[in-house]
């Protein structure tokens, strides 16, 4: 039986899902229809994996990660807490795949930091880091690192703005300090980096 967080309820695993042992699955996590979790995978507490997802044996998911339908999280993809993976978004793990060449020892690590959101049908090329609370627009193709709080769109993805932890676009048109309209949190822009002002 998969391990669970003793302070939480057992995970829910739909009868059509395949969870191969050993897999470490946190309490309150929900694994829905036709999901396949490989041996060795680590999935934190309070996660949701929508139907038809795949989790590799060397993939790591933190707590409260939401993975929408049709997402494959391959080996060497590391996802921190509170990340959102939109429907049918794509991770890769080899930069130059060929059917006739075995490259399992060449997987590149992809790191998705806390609070990041990845829109539907976006693609994240392996070897890149998505910064904390960044936002990758739907259909974007990420070919390089995304900074903390960065908003990126397009093919290839380019930074077009900044967002707050709550996901609202930050307005720096009049000042180097912007406020989230939902939470009132303030963010400083300095040397092309955004940081939360701790108060």
pLDDT of residue 199: 77
Q: Does residue 46 carry a pLDDT above 60?
A: yes
Q: Does residue 115 carry a pLDDT above 50?
A: yes
Q: Give residue 8's pLDDT band: very low, low, confident or very high (50, 70, 90).
A: low
What's the pTM value of the predicted model, to 2 decimals? 0.94
Q: What share of the chain is helix, strand, coil (3-state, %, to 5)?
A: 0, 35, 65
76: Cβ–Cβ under 8 A, 6 or more apart, which residues?
A: 56, 58, 59, 93, 107, 108, 109, 110, 126
Q: Does residue 68 carry a pLDDT above 90?
A: yes
Asked if CATH classification 3.40.50.1980 holds for the domain at 12-162, the reply, yes or no, is no
pLDDT of residue 5: 44
Q: Token digits for 48? A: 């949701």
User: What residues pair up with 19 in beta bridges, in sequence order?
Assistant: 37
Q: Does residue 71 carry a pLDDT above 70?
A: yes
Q: Does residue 149 carry a pLDDT above 70?
A: yes
Q: Give residue 101's pLDDT band: very low, low, confident or very high (50, 70, 90).
A: very high
Q: Does residue 2 carry a pLDDT above 70?
A: no
What are the pLDDT digits (tens) for 28-41?
Answer: 999 999 999 999 99
Q: Does residue 1 carry a pLDDT above 60?
A: no
């Amino acid at each position: 039986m998969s391990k669970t967080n003793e302070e939480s309820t057992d995970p829910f695993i739909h009868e059509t899902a395949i969870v191969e042992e050993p897999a470490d699955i946190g309490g309150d996590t929900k694994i829905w229809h036709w999901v396949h979790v490989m041996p060795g995978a680590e999935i934190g507490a309070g996660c949701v994996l929508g139907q038809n997802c795949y989790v590799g044996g060397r993939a790591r998911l933190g707590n409260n990660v939401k993975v929408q339908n049709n997402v494959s999280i391959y080996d060497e993809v590391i996802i921190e807490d509170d990340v959102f993976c939109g429907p049918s978004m794509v991770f890769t793990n080899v930069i130059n795949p060929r059917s006739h060449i075995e490259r399992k020892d060449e997987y590149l690590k992809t790191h998705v930091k806390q609070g990041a959101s990845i829109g539907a049908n976006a693609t994240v090329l392996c070897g890149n880091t998505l910064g904390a609370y960044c936002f990758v627009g739907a259909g974007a193709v990420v070919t390089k690192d995304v900074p903390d709080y960065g908003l990126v769109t397009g093919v290839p993805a380019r930074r077009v703005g900044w967002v707050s932890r709550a996901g609202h676009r930050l307005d720096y048109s009049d000042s180097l300090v912007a406020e989230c309209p939902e939470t009132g949190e303030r963010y400083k822009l300095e040397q092309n980096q955004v940081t939360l002002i701790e108060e």
